[in-house]
Structure formats: C-alpha cells, structure tokens
Structure 1
C-alpha cells in the first residue's frame, strides 16, 4: 500500500486501523503461502530467493526486537533481544509478559477515555465509621471515606521524594532574628543549617516562666466551640486575635499512608479563651506567616511530645518554634507513672480523652463534627496543664531560679533544634529507619541465600516505587505480603498476584516487573553461591621441590616452590552445558570448514 493511501491516525483512526489490519493479513498470507517444510527446497532452487528470505527475516527480527524493547520500557521490564528463531521459540514467554503488560495499560487508558477515571467519578463519599475492638475493650473508630482526592495534587510546592536531592527549607523571611538568615550549605549532607539555631541557644526566657502563679482555668469545653480557619482572610483575622497572648497551645494531625513523606492535615491552636482549628491543606503556602508568633521568644509555645510536630512544621510550612515548652518532659522530671497527654488531661482536668479516632483519615473534607471536637480537645486544656506543671516544677526545685523548669526547657530546646531531612535509602547495608536490616531483625525469618537476595531486591523496589508514586511503603506492598513473595519467589505475574491477597494496586500494575526482579535476584544469588563454593572447594597448597643438576665443577642444588591446586573430581565446567555457547562454537567451526565454491552455484556463495 502506498504511503499516500495510508489514512492519518489522528484524523481517521478507524481508517488507519483498517489499513493496518489489511497489511498484517496480507503479510501473514504471503508468509504462509509456502509450507514450512518446503522452504529449504525453494531456497536451494533460487539463490536470490534465499537471500531475500534471509534479509526479510533479519529485518522482521530487528523490527520485532525494537518494538519489544520499547514496550518493555513502558511496562517497567528488562528483556534481552532475540538472537534468532531458536531464541524466539525458547524465550517467547518474555514477549508474552510484555504483551500482557501492554494490554493491562491499554485497559487502564480505555477506562480513562470512557470517563471512568474522570474527576467527576472520584467524588468523595460520605465518611464511614468502622469500629475496631481491642483486647482492653477500647473501641477504636476508623473514620474513612472512599475516593478521597489526594491533597498533594493541589500543593503549590511540588513533592520531591528523591533521596539524592536534599530537603529545601521553605523559610524565606526570618522574623525575630538575632542573626541573619544563613543560607550556607552544610558540607556533610548538602543541607542548610537550622535558621533559628542561634536564637534558640541564646534565648532569654520571660521572668514570668519562673514565678509561681495561680493557674488560669480553661473555658468550659461543652459551652464553647472552635473557630474553623480555611481561608487567608480567616487566617489574618486569627492572627489579630493572637496579639497580646503570652502562651499558645499547638498540636498537629498528620497523614502518612497515601504519601511517602507524609503531610500535615490539621493544626490546632488554642489561647486562654479561644480554640482555632486550621485547615493546613488549604493554607499550606500561607502558614509561614505564623512565624511572627512561633519564633517570638516572648511567647511560650506549649506542645506535648513535640518531636514529630517540630519537623512537620518545618517540612510543610517553614515554621520554627523558639521558646518551646514540651509538657512531656515534666512528666519525666516529676516521675509521673504515665507520660501521655491523656494521663495529664485526666489528672488535672478530669477529662477523658476520646482516642477512638486516632485512626481517622484527616484528609476528609468537610471535616466531620466529631473529628473536629476530637482535634480541639488536644489543645483546649493544655495551657492550664502547663500552669499546673510549671508550678509543681518550681515548688520542687532545689534552687530559687527554678532549676527543674530549666531542665525541661533545655530538653525542649533540644527538640526544637531538630532539623528535617529526607530519609536516604541504603540498599547495600540496609541501614536507616526504612532500611531492610530493621525489618529483617524484626521478622526473624530464616532465609537461604536466594531468598535473602529476593528480599533485598523487593525491599528496594518497594522503596523506589513508593518514592515515584508518592505513596507509603505500607500502601505499595505491606510487610506480610513482601515476606510471602520472599517465601514463594514466584517467577510470573500470576504467581506474584497470587501471593498478595488482596493484591495492592501497584503490585498488580507492576506484576511482570516484580516477577522479573525476583528472577534476576535468584539468578544473581545462584551465581554468587557458585563462585563462593568454587573458591572454598579450591584448596591451594605449596610444595617444595628440590632438584640436583650435575655441573663440571660440581653439583648444583635448586630449590623451588610449586603451587598445587586441588580440585574435586566432581567439578565440571558449567560452560559445557551452555547450549548457546556450544551452538556458537559449532557454527564457527562449520564456517571455517565450509567451501567457498559449489559445483551447482559456482563461486557465488
């Protein structure tokens, strides 16, 4: 068919599809016009026909290999090109895996074209509550909703999970600075220093923090309600209300299941007379303005167990806290029997903290009222608890300057000086919080060398996929499913899917790639084991040989060291069983022995 007769696939896809199908049918019919068993006969009759057939076969194989490699890349597979017809027959399963991957992706694209994956079809359902009973009879409520839109899709700051790119801090303006904002890169990890390190280390605390005062009672919980802040205007109005307050209670709600690094979904902020709940998903790029209060050393920021909150504030909003009082440390210094916020709420406020919503999905919008009340309770009473704890610390201090308060403040400063850094994946040694070594120690699963290699390879694939897709490793491939794959080591996509029930989405989409990863890991481990075994079985010994040679003026004695290598009689060169190598040697030998002339065709061969 002439090129001008081929329809444009963009303008007339059906016409193009029909012409392509006709061409394929014509080519197939031409190839089948001569029976396979008679090809050799026709080749011997016509030398030009034989050359044309060989050229067409080589061209077809090259086109097929090019298509195979291109499609394998799209499917996330690594496939070796075919060498000849025998290689195609022997490894045709590789082409089948690639085709399966293409069909699955085509099915996904057809769903998008048909409108099944449009945003209108992904509207969030009404939140559902699932109760989970535990051994202590406490019912946790897992509040979730289907089709929750991923908030990071709307973030103005793009998510970068690459471990090779250091975290870029978000602070551009530094209020309450004693030294200018330092942008000098630290040589060791190529990151920037903590912008408020000097201010935290040289802080001068307000004198009121070291004076026993009457605790200020909190407002009634049942008769007050929080203020919802989800617009810039509401944020600016809240900031005006914060002016003049000397203490602020702060808490955060975080989500890290559908995100690799995680993100803050909610901020609770309370003064002595009002509670604010801030939608940090909507105001993510505006909350840096709170540094006017968070970095002010004259304002005490009260948090409980602030280790995670400090780094979340830095990572998501560029917020830093100067003058932190972490109520966790007084519980240690005063030797309390328990150290949780729930214990402090019960002890000082006789309030039973409802922890039934700890498993709630804080991405849900609009936020249900029960979740809003739960979030508010974490900061509503915290400033009163701060007053009570500070007074107890001062009363039990052995010096007039309140040494126990200073101990808690010093430990709080150590928390505030934490600096957020991305987690680096150590594929070789498995070190770090997310490394494979910790999981290996925790599970205590006995593995042979092949299983260990598969475990490392799958663990690395999981981390790499989680970073690329911005998902947690728990969402990509849970630990128990990873260990099931390690135990069975399936070599095809169906086996991979069969090990995971229910099969995670990303595992199903990358089943061929996972099977190939397992296959490669097993082969590499087997090769390494053979090499190590060969070295162990090869024993080297040194033998001293003495020889005497007669000379005219006497005899000469020569002593030499001869190295002997002992090999087991059962050792056989594995290359003897390499059929490809044998075939190659046989072909080369035949090429050397074949004649360049023929009685039938002359010297044209």
Structure 2
C-alpha cells in the first residue's frame, strides 16, 4: 500500500498546484466531511487526481482557502461522484467548477442497478473498492493511513470510471441528457432554510398541543445553539428521542429531569442547566407556536389527496402510470425522468388550457430540463386529461 501524505502547508499546497497544472485531462475531485460528528458540513479532506500528476490529499482546515487551486483548474472538467453532496463544501473553501461530470448521475441515467462508487467501480472496472470508512469522523487528526488510502482510491479510479461511463452514454444516445443533468446539478441553488426548523424533530408527530410544541421548540433551539457553538452534531449531544421524551414527561424539577431514564446523550447531564432552562421557557412562554406551520408552498402528503383533492389525486395516479412506461423505454429511473415533487406540483395545480405546450411551460418553470420536457410533457398532458375524466365519472353515475 502506497504511503499517503496529507498536504497541510502553504509551500506544499502551491507545489501541488504546479504539478496538477502540468498534468493532463479531466480532474477527479472528492471531499470528506464529518457528518454525524460535527455540526458543520465543511470538508475535512479534499482529494484531487489528474493523469500525469497523481493524487493529492489536502487538509482544508490547515490550508483555508483554495482560490489558487480553483484558478488553476476551474475551466477543466471536474469529475465528482454525487456532485450535489460535495459542491457546497467545496465552494465554501473557494473551489467552484465551470464544468462537471457526475459519475453517480451518469450511472443512474444508464440504468445501473447500484450507483454507489464502490458498486460502480466494481461493475465497470472489476475492482473491489472497500467503503468501510465512508461514515468515519474525518475531523480526526492525524488521519489513519488506512483512511487516507481509502480517500485516495476514491479519486484515483474516478477518471477511468468517467471514461467508461462516457462511452456507455455515447452508445446509448444519452450524452446530451447527461450534459443537461450535469449542468443542472452544478447550477442548483442551495435549499432555503426551512421555516420553523425545530418541526423536523423526529417523533414530533406524537406531540399534541401548543404548549408541548413550545417546549419542543425551546429544547430543540437550546440543543442547536449548543451544537453550533461546539461544532458537534446535535444528535450526539442529546438524541431527538430524548428531547421528545422530555416534552411528553415534562418533569417539574431539574432533579426530576436528571432522573429520567429516557433522557440520554453525552450532554444530557453535563449540561443539565441548559435543558432545564429551555424546559422552563417552553412551559412559561406566551409565544405559543401554531399547531401547524404557517402557510407555505408545501403540498399535503399524496396519501391524503383522494379526500382533499380527488381530481389532483386522479391526475397524479394516471401520470405516474404513464411516466413509468416512459422511464422503462428510456432505461432511466422514474425519479430521474421527472422528480416526484415536480409531478405532484403539476398535478395539484395543472396549467390551463391543458395541453403539451402549457405542461411544458409549467415544467420549465419548475426547473425541468429540456430533455425531460420533451420526454414527458405530451404524456403528462394526456394522462391529466384521463385523470380528470376518471375523477368525474362517479359524479356522473350519481346524477
């Protein structure tokens, strides 16, 4: 096994840029975070490979900004596996590509059964790529040699994978589809911060009443503040289940809170005053949250449509069936032919008049790519007409 070296000084960093510039062809890029361990989603290791240059392992906390590297390689094609997961943390340190080739996305468009990097490498190159360190705490220092070898292989094989996938895309006539998908991924904007993020608390659906929701909100907020300050994943301080247990039990003293068996986590006792203060705020505040989130553009769950909007339910079901046929003919997963969210929004509020042109315009407004519109607009329009007819049939029979 090759000894892998982590670049953590300015001189080594600048020397690496010179070597990368001297290489040839596209550039494989990957990043390792510490999800589940740290609050932030920053990169704790960035890997780069280019033919004729080799593998380079960079330590982002030590180096800081990567603007000089970005200036050197920005206009080259970057190969990233599951780019949507890594682009945010790469951009945080100044790495922002102008062109990408997403090997995971290409694998999906080609209809591969498994699209994880290890599976794709094994299917296309016949090489078994162990993935035992994918969920490791990459903020660890020093990084173990076995982790570094794992990280290096993630990019060292990526250019060969890209070439195999590109050949298959050409053979299947999907190069233009892939190009549109890669560009859409590169340009996709980060999701907006959700209104009332504390409502994401797992198990909150079992909490009833505005007062109890206020307690849940204060406990979640206290944990989030503490986690942010310490850069620790919130669930590692106190898990969601423990916070919900406190909401339901509502102990009447700090001692009673400490005595709860269901109140667990590394910070459950060491930061007991924090949790008790949050519980008291929730129990006494006049600022009670609404039982449901304030009006937003979030659609109701599809399972409730048959009662809440039977016409939309009929349209959605007819379109899903029709699009499944399209997906099969293209050998592309249905969710890649058109995202479920786009189809739901279109079914809930269809365009008027209802035809392929207006459906296409509506899809474009929702962010669909041109190839998706070409492949689905006519099918959706016809399915919606069929769904409307189906929804009206019971009314006709009753009259």
Pairwise TM-score range, normalised by the shorter structure: 0.5 to 0.7
Distance between the aligned counterparts of 1:477 and 1:425, measured in 2?
22
Partner of 1:411: 181
> Offset of 1:229 from its aligned partner?
1.9
The answer to whether the 8 Å contact 1:268/1:275 transfers is: yes
Distance between the aligned counterparts of 1:387 and 1:362, measured in 2?
29
> Offset of 1:344 from its aligned partner?
1.0
Aligned residues: 288
Unpaired runs of at least 5, structure 1: 1-221, 398-403, 530-605
Superposition map of 1:320-335 within 5 A: 320-335=96-111
Pick the structure with greater CA Rg.
Answer: 1
What is the DSSP-based 3-state SS (H/G/I as helix, E as strand, rest coil) of the residue aligned with 2:108? Answer: helix
> Offset of 1:482 from its aligned partner?
0.7
Deviations 1:300-331 (A, max 9, x none): 1101101121110112x121111111012221
Deviations 1:164-211 (A, max 9, x none): xxxxxxxxxxxxxxxxxxxxxxxxxxxxxxxxxxxxxxxxxxxxxxxx
Distance between the aligned counterparts of 2:111 and 2:13, measured in 1?
39
Unpaired runs of at least 5, structure 2: 291-399
Which of 145, 148, 151 pairs up with 1:369? 145
Partner of 1:60: none
Superposition map of 1:489-528 within 5 A: 489-499=250-260, 503-504=264-265, 506-524=267-285
Superposition map of 1:335-484 within 5 A: 335-397=111-173, 404-419=174-189, 424=193, 426=195, 430=196, 435-439=197-201, 444-484=205-245
Superposition map of 1:561-600 within 5 A: none
Distance between the aligned counterparts of 1:527 and 1:240, measured in 2?
59
Distance between the aligned counterparts of 1:521 and 1:227, measured in 2?
51
Partner of 1:308: 85
Distance between the aligned counterparts of 1:527 and 1:384, measured in 2?
57
TM-score, normalization: structure 1?
Answer: 0.44
Distance 1:500-1:380 versus aligned 2 partners, 3 A rule: farther
Which of 46, 70, 74 pairs up with 1:291? 70
> Offset of 1:425 from its aligned partner?
6.3
The answer to whether the 8 Å contact 1:232/1:283 transfers is: yes
What is the DSSP-based 3-state SS (H/G/I as helix, E as strand, rest coil) of the residue aligned with 1:260? Answer: coil
Deviations 1:14-73 (A, max 9, x none): xxxxxxxxxxxxxxxxxxxxxxxxxxxxxxxxxxxxxxxxxxxxxxxxxxxxxxxxxxxx
Partner of 1:401: none
What is the DSSP-based 3-state SS (H/G/I as helix, E as strand, rest coil) of the residue aligned with 1:252? Answer: strand
What is the DSSP-based 3-state SS (H/G/I as helix, E as strand, rest coil) of the residue aligned with 1:237? Answer: helix
Find out whether 1:264 has 2:43 as its counterpart: yes
Distance between the aligned counterparts of 2:273 and 2:15, measured in 1?
55
Instruction: Work out which structure has the larger RCO, using CA pairs closer than 8 Å and 6 or more positions apart in sequence.
Output: 2
More helix by share: 2
> Offset of 1:337 from its aligned partner?
1.4
Distance between the aligned counterparts of 2:287 and 2:199, measured in 1?
21
The CA RMSD over aligned residues, in Å, is: 2.9
What is the DSSP-based 3-state SS (H/G/I as helix, E as strand, rest coil) of the residue aligned with 1:282? Answer: helix
Deviations 1:233-284 (A, max 9, x none): 2212211111242211111100244543232111111112522211222112
TM-score, normalization: structure 2?
Answer: 0.65
Distance between the aligned counterparts of 1:279 and 1:527, measured in 2?
45
